[in-house]
Structure 1
């Protein structure tokens, strides 16, 4: 799984925004300001957030995989140093093994050292490239261990245990927040069910005609209003789900995408 670079995200946002703008403008020239323009705006909005949601999810998976392999890397370094290797040699040996997404970054670091960069410079560059929270916490400790003579057995062992406990706590947190994320989805389904019941039993007859005269708001405008409310609820509900589940608002874009599509399809099918 490759790392998603920041410039890739920016490029995806620019391209998707241009495509979405073209779709909305095309819809305006085709249907004007009629209610059908809402569909063009909706799909344009989906095109904007879909690449962002996908790239954020892939980046989250990459960072998660990196953090999960850090304890294995530290354990390998400790074992190598126990055999008499220096810290630099232990890292070179670790770069020859498979540590998932960490392996390419380790190889880059050892290559920089072989090209003349100092160990501290290469390790700092490694921390900046990887950029996960746990990596940024551990890299300064590794540098200090190197400066103190490279005797890292006493720091890498506790460091690996700390990372394992941190990952375990994060896993428990995600498990505990899943019911709350499910509640957000259930709330959307209840909202959709209420809208459908209102239209089927209160606003319209069995044959689909209006049950009573609406002097201020037409039936079509009511459908548009409820569609807008559903999309808004799906979007912001997804952001809340991402903040609760993964601690990031942008991580909720995938939930927003799913809930908005569910709401759009449900209302277009049942109303």
Structure 2
């Protein structure tokens, strides 16, 4: 026995460095994994997930592509007409508008999809909290209540409920699991409700009552948001109609007043009277281009205003901006 103990004691110092080295390797791998899941590393490993995780991330791709398209278009126009003549033509305007659409259309689509997903999650939250509270009041423990509720259908929220049920089955504490549940959903309403439930659970209160309170609060929040959106819809419509009226006024003024003045001025100048009138100096191409610029700027920023008024976010108005800019461009290219 003494010889065996001596050998074991002698071997311990030899095994200690290998254990420390193994731990350091594991820690290094974990840190490398964390670095690969953030910033440039995450973009290199999962580019599509990185670009679509948040709507604004798509600008990482669309802005460089838009710049490249505009530069190529500008080079083509300059090589065809020369520098000064190319800048005076509408071709440069078309390439610039195309670049703007390339940069904004993907962001508008992803933001619309993201806002619809957030709205569906907020609508499903009150039902989920109310069902869990009912199961808990019937005598079930929270893990069992969440397991039973996870078999139901909550739309976009179902996958998060199933993940919460899986974490509870792994004996993760309820407070930690519910916090992770709120972080995964990511909506301010979910995070606020989860924080309320977790703090009440830590304080030792009646969790079922807190769940019902969170359900009622979520329900009221969704109702107020829906009511505000419905009330502000009329102002969004007013913005869109105002833009159409703006285009109509420009079309009438260009097709009647300015065109008539230009023709009258040209007739006077051809008669050889020698007098210089206002109409003889009207350049219709210049004014059409000027009005095109005004309509594009008006449509783009009116859309942002409509988004701020209707949904409380200027980015949400990009879908209106894109529609109005395209309508303005088509109107000037085909009708004005």
Q: Same fold (TM over 0.5)?
A: yes
1:13 to 51, 55, 59: 59
* 1:92 matches 2:157: no
Residue 116 of structure 1 deviates from its aligned partner by 5.2
Unaligned runs of 5+ in 1: none
Which protein has the bigger helix share?
2
Residue 260 of structure 1 corresponds to 325
* 1:36 matches 2:101: no
Listed one character per residue, the Cα deviations across residues 47-73 of structure 1 (whole Å, up to 9, x for unaligned) are 100011111111100010001011110
2:287 to 222, 245, 253: 222
Residue 170 of structure 1 corresponds to 225
1:25 to 58, 67, 71: 71
Alpha-carbon distance in 2 for matches of 1:117, 1:209: 84
Alpha-carbon distance in 2 for matches of 1:107, 1:65: 17
Residue 193 of structure 1 corresponds to 248
**CA 1:210–1:142: 2 relative to 1, 3 Å:** farther
Q: What is the CA RMSD across the aligned residues, in angstroms? A: 2.3
Q: Does the CA contact (< 8 Å) of 1:145 and 1:152 recur in 2?
A: yes
Residue 66 of structure 1 corresponds to 121
Q: Does the CA contact (< 8 Å) of 1:53 and 1:251 recur in 2?
A: yes
Alpha-carbon distance in 1 for matches of 2:206, 2:227: 34
Residue 42 of structure 2 corresponds to none
**CA 1:210–1:234: 2 relative to 1, 3 Å:** farther
Alpha-carbon distance in 1 for matches of 2:140, 2:50: 37
3-state SS of the aligned residue for 2:280? coil
| Bigger mean CA offset, 140-149 vs 19-28 | 140-149
**CA 1:6–1:246: 2 relative to 1, 3 Å:** farther
Alpha-carbon distance in 2 for matches of 1:88, 1:209: 85
**CA 1:29–1:210: 2 relative to 1, 3 Å:** farther
Residue 123 of structure 1 deviates from its aligned partner by 1.7
TM-score, length-scaled by structure 2: 0.73
3-state SS of the aligned residue for 1:91? helix
Unaligned runs of 5+ in 2: 1-47, 79-86, 267-278
- Bigger Rg, which one: 2
Residue 266 of structure 1 deviates from its aligned partner by 1.2
* 1:142 matches 2:207: no
TM-score, length-scaled by structure 1: 0.90
Residue 93 of structure 1 deviates from its aligned partner by 2.1
Alpha-carbon distance in 1 for matches of 2:265, 2:119: 53
Please list every run of at least 4 consecutive aligned residues from structure 1 whose deviation after the TM superposition is greater than 4 angstroms.
Answer: 4-7, 205-211
Alpha-carbon distance in 1 for matches of 2:117, 2:265: 53
Residue 205 of structure 1 deviates from its aligned partner by 4.3
Residue 167 of structure 2 corresponds to 112
Alpha-carbon distance in 2 for matches of 1:245, 1:49: 19
Alpha-carbon distance in 2 for matches of 1:208, 1:12: 49
Structure scoring higher RCO (CA < 8 A, sep ≥ 6) equals: 1
Listed one character per residue, the Cα deviations across residues 86-114 of structure 1 (whole Å, up to 9, x for unaligned) are 22322222222211111111222233344
